[in-house]
């Protein structure tokens, strides 16, 4: 039997860590972190709060396109914004020696060094993308509130892992060349766009729950239209957001090359 309700406890489980992260960042960040990075971090947390706490997640369990807004926001927008906020650089500069020791130990760990390799992050992101839309997990997430919330965690964690070595601002145990960063970002546009295209162009429902009788779906008259709205959002917004991160990474490459020439 489907549990189409979302336990309010998830609001607390998502909301409290977001508020705690914002409080920690505010108390720890120094003037060494540019204001634009700080603004991105706070904006990322704010967007995360909006899509994870309150009415949005409760509508998303019933309306597919709202679920897609969560997906796009968490994987493609919020994750890189948080990474660009340089939270690991903030932690590394914290006065507490324990945080510095923890980070040094983490970056020496073979598991951490493996996970933050661009090709591994690419694979994790890709698996998360397909598993949450074209596997039994996708239907389970639209039938059960707890599974749906698990999907949201997958979106965020996969996004953070993927973007960490690609976005600048945080300490890294190894250097990732800018051409590799650009290639990864450009390459990920293909599966993201195709996911949206398949959802939009399909003549049948790929998820069960939106077909529930009597469901009042905003801006759609049928479950299939609901799916197509979600697919079109993924298709269009994904490309626009990715283009922005590509432009930012290209700018970082230009600045890096210019600074290297000046040092020589």
Query: Does some domain include residue 1?
Result: no
Q: In this structure, is residue 145 part of a structural domain?
A: yes
In a domain, 232, yes or no: yes
Residues 61, 44, 27, CA angle at the centre, nearest 5°?
125
What is the pTM for the complete model shown?
0.89
CB 201: neighbour CB atoms within 10 A? Answer: 11
Number of domains making up the chain: 1
- Class of residue 174 by CB neighbours under 10 A (exposed 0-12, middle 13-18, buried 19+): exposed
Q: Tens digits of per-residue pLDDT, 181-224?
A: 999 999 999 999 899 888 888 777 777 654 444 455 444 447 78
> Which residues contact residue 46 at a Cβ distance below 8 angstroms, ignoring those fewer than 6 apart?
none
170 in any annotated domain? yes
For residue 224, being part of any structural domain is answered with yes
CB 4 within 8 A of CB 61: yes
Q: Is 257 domain-assigned?
A: yes
Give per-residue pLDDT as tens, 131-151. Answer: 998 888 888 887 888 899 999
Domain that holds residue 60: 9-263
Report yes or no on 31 lying in a domain: yes
Is the model more confident about 102 or about 5? 102
**Position 18 in a domain:** yes
């Amino acid at each position: 039997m489907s549990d189409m309700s979302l336990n309010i406890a998830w609001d607390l489980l998502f909301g409290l860590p977001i508020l705690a992260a914002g409080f920690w960042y505010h108390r720890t960040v120094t003037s060494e972190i540019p204001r634009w990075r700080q603004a991105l971090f706070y904006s990322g947390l704010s967007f995360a709060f909006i899509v994870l706490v309150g009415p949005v997640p409760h509508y998303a369990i019933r309306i597919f396109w709202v679920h897609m807004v969560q997906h796009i926001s968490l994987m493609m927008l919020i994750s890189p914004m948080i990474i660009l906020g340089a939270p690991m650089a903030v932690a590394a500069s914290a006065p507490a020696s324990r945080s510095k020791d923890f980070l040094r130990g983490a970056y020496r760990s073979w598991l951490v060094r493996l996970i933050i390799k661009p090709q591994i992050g690419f694979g994790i992101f890709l698996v998360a993308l397909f598993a949450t839309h074209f596997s039994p997990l996708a239907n389970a997430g639209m039938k059960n509130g707890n599974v749906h919330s698990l999907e949201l965690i997958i979106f965020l964690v996969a996004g953070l892992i993927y973007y960490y070595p690609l976005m600048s601002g945080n300490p890294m145990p190894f250097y990732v060349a800018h051409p590799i960063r650009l290639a990864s970002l450009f390459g990920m546009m293909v599966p993201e766009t195709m996911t949206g295209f398949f959802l939009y162009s399909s003549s049948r429902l790929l998820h069960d729950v939106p077909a529930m009788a009597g469901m009042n779906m905003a801006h759609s008259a049928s479950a299939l239209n609901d799916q197509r709205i979600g697919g079109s959002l993924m298709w269009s917004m994904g490309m626009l957001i990715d283009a922005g991160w590509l432009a930012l990474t290209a700018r970082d490459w230009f600045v890096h090359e210019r600074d290297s020439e000046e040092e020589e």
